[in-house]
Structure 1
Amino acid sequence: MNVATNLAYPTAIEAVDLIKDYGRGENTVHALRGVNVRFERGRFTAIMGPSGSGKSTLMHTLAGLDSATGGHIMFNGGDITAMNDNQLTLLRRKKIGFIFQSFNLLPMFTAEQNILMPLTLAGDKPDRAWFRQLVHTLGLEQRLGHRPNELSGGQQQRVAIARALISKPSLVFADEPTGNLDSVSSAEVLEFLKRSVKELNQTIIMVTHDAVAASYADRAIVFADGRIVADEANPTAEVMNELLMAERERAARGALLEPPIAPEPAGARHRR
């Protein structure tokens, strides 16, 4: 078993021989093929890969949003793959935060109300010291009374980040968090994610297709065909672009080597 790991940091979450299949028989899609990977606490990790590589499936399975076909996911002292729906719901509510590409802010509420929404829905009181630290780190002090339509895209995503962190989750998943942003706003959000890890001791796992976004992370994993094909510490945009290009070329060569599909005899479709 080849587990990608760095023993200098404690484990936040770990996948062991993780398998995820979709469909059955000849139509089976092997999205995850026995993945072994350990993510470190207090670190910012990016997961990259071509479309259909399995990177989003890995994130959804780690977060308990999708069930595994085989293997185990060890998190917070338990095995996620053995939990029922109620246990998973409680786990996500208390221990896991989510940042999405579409900010998912409620338009009728202010930035402050949106940030506090997870606690409001759970009936919990906010830790005001933590709230102040979050909004200071994310530069939102002057925007708390604004509604989403009064904020830029970058500011909306920063509100979404604060919302994901307000309940002090052990782990935060970010799914293409800069996908709807321009380059300036993207850099702003990525810098704040990095600061959240360094200054607030958060653990963030980010799925992205952008090599520049991955360069903000402490570590970047490249996925292809449901497997980890590269694991880079202190990634740069240049290195990640090279790795992605190599995977695209390999996939193209594999497609050329596949045997051609025999053409149907003339009129075959009409005889069906």
Structure 2
Amino acid sequence: MEGLVTPTINPTAIEAIDLVKDYGQGDTAVHALRGVNVRFEQGRFTAIMGPSGSGKSTLMHTLAGLDSATSGRIVFDGADITKMNDNQLTLLRRHKIGFIFQSFNLLPMFSAEQNILMPLTLANERPDRRWFDQLVRTLGLGERLNHRPNELSGGQQQRVAIARALITKPALVFADEPTGNLDSVSSAEVLSFLKQSVRELGQTIIMVTHDAVAASYADRAIVFADGNIVADVPNPTAERMSDLLMAERERATRAAIR
């Protein structure tokens, strides 16, 4: 196991304590998370990696309150979200958590600007135009605001989706395979903007990815296997993360043969 204790420099954004998530019961139960303990710092970009079925997506969904925990605690903004009801979780996600998805999820009939402002429109809230302008400038969307999604490239659509995720000034942003539908050039562009959002806008981003190159843009990368954290790497490189994933796949293959 590799360096699981990471010095905490910034305040904690969200923390999982003895987090367990099981699907099913008895002999057929799937243990997706096995007592996970992990802390994510504010103003940092963290990647979560691992093979399919390792638990990385389950961790993200549970941290975001999209899936319930079997046991354990998740502390976010001073509260244990595992004790919240559906209405409280909905409000939490609406005001304090942003989401970036692989499939963009933009509304095709609306312009880029309307898509960016949609979370505020749905909440009947006025936008902070200074923050909007800063997002647009940081993400390089100034000349694309009147374009509809079908008039934008994949990378531009994802940048609109990033701006939409940030427009409510969320304390935390979850990105689920944000470059999964993009070519290598657009992927590099989007990852650079995510990193820039952390550096210049002070955002906290947790990204699930299977791509070692994508993970190299993060400040920290966590590797999952069999519902546990098996590596916690500061300042990850693509080569280091690729080696770790390869080693984990080989270990899993050996275990399956036994």
Tell me the TM-score range normalised by the shorter chain. over 0.9
Q: Which runs of 5+ in 2 are unaligned?
A: none
Q: Relative to structure 1, is the Cα distance of residues 88 and 204 closer, same or farther in structure 2, using a 3 angstrom cutoff?
A: same
Q: Which residue of 1 aligns with 2:100?
A: 99
C-alpha distance in 2, partners of 1:11/1:4?
Answer: 14
**Aligned pairs (5 A) from 1:189-228:** 189-228=190-229
Whether the 8 Å contact between 2:19 and 2:71 is mirrored in structure 1 is yes
Residue matched to 1:6: 7
Residue 131 of structure 2 aligns with which residue?
Answer: 130
- Matches of 1:77 and 1:71 in 2, distance apart? 15
RMSD of equivalent CA atoms: 0.9
Tell me the distance in 1 between the aligned counterparts of 2:5 and 2:26: 31
> Secondary structure at the residue paired with 2:143?
helix
8 Å contact 2:209–2:215 — kept in the other structure? Answer: yes
Counterpart residue number, 1:260? none
State whether residues 216 and 238 of structure 2, in contact with CA within 8 Å, keep that contact through their aligned partners in structure 1.
yes
Matches of 1:237 and 1:17 in 2, distance apart? 30
Superposition misfits of 4+ residues, deviation over 2 angstroms: 2-6
CA distance in 1, matches of 2:100, 2:135: 15
Give the conservation status (yes or no) of the 8 Å contact 1:96–1:173. yes
The answer to whether the 8 Å contact 1:5/1:37 transfers is no
How many angstroms does 1:7 deviate by? 1.7
Give the residue type in structure 1 aligned to 2:64: A
Deviations 1:100-123 (A, max 9, x none): 000000000000000000000000
Q: 1:5 offset after TM fit, Å?
A: 3.8
Q: TM-score, normalised by structure 1?
A: 0.93
- For 2:64, the equivalent position in structure 1 comes to 63
TM-superposed CA distance for 1:4, in Å, is 4.3
Counterpart check, 1:188 vs 2:189:
yes
Q: Which amino acid aligns with 1:110?
A: S
Matches of 2:114 and 2:182 in 1, distance apart?
23
Higher relative contact order (CA 8 A, sep 6+): 2
**Aligned counterparts of 1:75 and 1:210: Cα–Cα separation in 2:** 27
Q: 1:5 to 1:13 in 2, by over 3 A?
A: farther
CA contact (8 A) 1:3 1:36 kept: no
Paired position in structure 2 for 1:18? 19
Counterparts of residues 224-239 of structure 1 (less than 5 Å): 224-239=225-240
The one-letter code of the counterpart of 1:136 is R
Aligned to 1:242: 243
Aligned residues: 256
Q: Residue 248 of structure 1 aligns to which amino acid in structure 2?
A: R
Contiguous gaps of at least 5 residues in structure 1: 258-272
Residues 172-192 of structure 1: CA deviation (Å, up to 9, x unaligned): 000000000000000000000
Deviation of 1:9 after TM superposition, in Å, equals 1.1
Percent identity reads 82
Maintained 8 Å contact 1:4/1:36: no
Q: Distance in 2 between matches of 1:101 and 1:156?
A: 11
Output the CA distance in 2 between the equivalents of 1:3 and 1:240: 15
- Contact 1:4 / 1:37 at 8 angstroms: preserved in 2? no
Q: 2: distance between equivalents of 1:21 and 1:75?
A: 22
Equivalents in 2 of 1:253, 1:75: separation in Å?
38
Q: Is the 8 A contact 2:6 2:232 kept in 1?
A: no
